[in-house]
């Protein structure tokens, strides 16, 4: 990812969603790895990480499926060398324009000094197709951070979302150890022409239909993070053709650059890379355990509702005026090998205090889907 603009978030808005969602793709454990590609590129965010291929990941125990769950680990046994600690970076073979994505996690990478993990989507020719960071955090961060990245001309949640800086909402759900202590939970992201909305549900508190055949976000209450489109951002212009990504990296342009300012982590070693290299056991909890990942698309049976004004919460029962329907939902699926050379960045260089020329980052992204 890139630089973030941090925004204090509070909203009573309820997203006004498309009706008629139906299951498009089910990334179940029995076919999970058939639906993703393994990227083995150098980390574009300059992480101390060695992304390995599927064969290496399988033989070294970094990936497995068991009892209907899929697990993605990092190496927590060996002293690291070369490019860095072994990990995996997965890219879906399908891409989407508009979707409801629901991720049921038993476990996400736990908190550890030097770690940087994320679940996100992005499209080709970054940032022209946008990027949606659904789950992301680094080091000892306890709250999730949801971030949008776009080309010029899009402002969401009160801030420009341009390229590396992006627009971010902090405190957007549980992250790391806090999430895992509750036996995980569910993150859901709805993306329509009206906006992009993210929910985080604790285990046992999720809506009954959230992983059903036809979920309806209108009944889920207020989202944890809301990026309402409108005159400040044409969602359909700035977000399209996005693939799904999972990865866990180390140090680099977020966890590494904050090392010296983090009193807890900097006390462990003089540099992030030194700590990550020599303390494999510190990353025993650095794994994703995925119970379910489902992608739903709309059948277009209902028109999108008129988006509400961001400054005034609108009760769900208030009548809503339709908007023109000249731009119906379109879902595009691309099969075959994942695109890895033209997709925008996975992680965005976080924190406004991280000052790197955008041209440099764009250069590294041109060779990788970060």
Residue for token digits 């399908």? 94
Comparing CA positions, the residue from 277, 226, 249 lying closest to residue 345 is 249
Cα of 272 vs its chain's centroid, Å: 23
Residue for token digits 């379109």? 330
Check: CB of residue 252 under 8 Å from CB of residue 347: yes
- 244 SS3 class: strand
Comparing CA positions, the residue from 43, 44, 1 lying closest to residue 348 is 1
How far is residue 145's CA from residue 286's CA, in Å, rounded to a whole number? Answer: 18
Give the phi and the psi of residue 170 in degrees, each rounded to 5.
-80, 170
How far is residue 55's CA from residue 129's CA, in Å, rounded to a whole number? Answer: 31
How far is residue 306's CA from residue 296's CA, in Å, rounded to a whole number? Answer: 22
Check: CB of residue 76 under 8 Å from CB of residue 284: yes
Q: What is the DSSP string of 213-232?
A: SS--GGGS-S-SEEEE-BTT
Catalytic-role residue among 131, 165, 258, 273: 131
How far is residue 174's CA from residue 200's CA, in Å, rounded to a whole number? Answer: 7
The total of other beta-carbon atoms located within 10 Å of residue 195's CB is: 26
Q: Which residues contact 263 (CB under 8 A, 6 or more apart)?
A: none
Residue for token digits 């994703």? 288
131 in catalytic set: yes
Residue for token digits 């993605």? 72
The total of other beta-carbon atoms located within 10 Å of residue 174's CB is: 24
Catalytic-role residue among 136, 190, 206, 273: 136
| Six-digit token string for 184 | 């995980």
**Active site residues per annotation:** 131, 136
């Amino acid at each position: 990812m890139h630089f973030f603009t941090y925004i204090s978030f509070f909203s009573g808005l309820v997203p006004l969603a498309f009706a008629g969602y139906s299951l498009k793709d089910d990334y179940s454990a029995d076919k999970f790895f058939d639906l993703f590609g393994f990227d083995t590129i150098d980390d574009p965010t300059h992480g101390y990480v060695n992304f390995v291929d599927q064969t290496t990941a399988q033989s070294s125990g970094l990936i497995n499926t068991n009892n209907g769950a899929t697990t993605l680990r990092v190496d927590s046994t060996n002293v690291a060398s070369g490019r860095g600690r072994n990990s995996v970076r997965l890219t879906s073979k399908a891409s989407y324009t508009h979707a409801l994505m629901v991720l049921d996690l038993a476990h996400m990478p736990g908190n550890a000094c030097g770690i940087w993990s994320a679940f996100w989507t992005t499209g080709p020719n970054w940032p022209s197709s946008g990027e949606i960071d659904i789950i992301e955090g680094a080091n000892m961060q306890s709250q999730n951070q949801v971030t949008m990245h776009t080309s010029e001309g899009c402002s969401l949640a009160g801030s420009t979302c341009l390229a590396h800086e992006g627009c971010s909402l902090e405190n957007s759900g549980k992250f790391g150890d806090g999430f895992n202590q509750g036996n995980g939970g569910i993150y859901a992201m709805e993306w329509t022409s009206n906006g992009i909305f993210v929910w985080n549900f604790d285990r046992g508190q999720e809506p009954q239909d959230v992983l059903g055949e036809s979920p309806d976000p209108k009944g889920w209450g207020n989202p944890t993070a809301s990026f309402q489109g409108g005159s400040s951002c044409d969602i359909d212009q700035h977000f399209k053709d996005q693939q799904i990504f999972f990865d866990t990296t180390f140090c680099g342009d977020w966890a590494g650059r904050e090392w010296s300012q983090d009193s807890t982590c900097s006390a462990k070693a003089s540099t992030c890379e030194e700590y990550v290299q020599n303390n494999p056991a510190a990353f025993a909890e650095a794994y994703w355990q995925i119970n379910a990942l489902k992608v739903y698309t709309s059948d277009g049976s209902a028109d999108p509702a008129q988006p509400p004004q961001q400054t005034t919460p609108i009760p769900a029962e208030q009548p809503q005026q339709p908007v023109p329907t000249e731009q119906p939902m379109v879902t595009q699926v691309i099969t075959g090998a994942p695109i890895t050379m033209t997709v925008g960045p996975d992680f965005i260089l976080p924190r406004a205090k991280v000052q790197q020329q955008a041209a440099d980052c764009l250069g590294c992204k041109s060779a990788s889907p970060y």
